[in-house]
Amino acid sequence: MATLVATTTIRGAVVIAMALWFARLSEHERELHRQVQTLEGLLPICSFCKKIRNESGEWERLETFIAERSEAQFSHAFCPSCWKTHYAELGDAPSN
């Protein structure tokens, strides 16, 4: 009788552990799916100003579009080429 109780208890513990593991795995999969949905797909982007057309058909800045749909944050600087194009009179670009 003691062996039967011990075996049943061990089997129950294994079933509970597996159920918890599957629940955690399922949550992880949902989170990954949410992130993939946010980051994939074709984006209608203007060739000139780089604004993106959103779901309602309005054009918004690239930074705004991405920041509202992800955890990305933006900082702005000048690449060396743009610095030379727009600020050549100031000399070399400052180091970042």
What pLDDT, in 10s, does the model give residues 8-29?
999 999 999 999 999 999 999 8
Does the predicted model carry a pTM greater than 0.85?
A: no
| pLDDT value of position 40 | 64
Query: Is there a domain that residue 95 lies in?
Result: no
pLDDT category of residue 96 using cuts at 50, 70 and 90: low
Helix (H) or strand (E) segment spanning residue 53: strand 52-53
The amino acid at residue 78 is: F
Residue bearing tokens 């920041």: 67
CB 93 within 8 A of CB 84: yes
Q: What is the pLDDT of residues 45-95, one digit of tens each?
A: 999 999 999 889 999 999 998 888 888 888 888 888 888 888 888 888 777
Q: Which domain holds residue 47?
A: 2-90
Query: Is there a domain that residue 21 lies in?
Result: yes
How many domains is the chain partitioned into structurally? 1
Query: Is there a domain that residue 96 lies in?
Result: no
Helix (H) or strand (E) segment spanning residue 59: strand 59-60
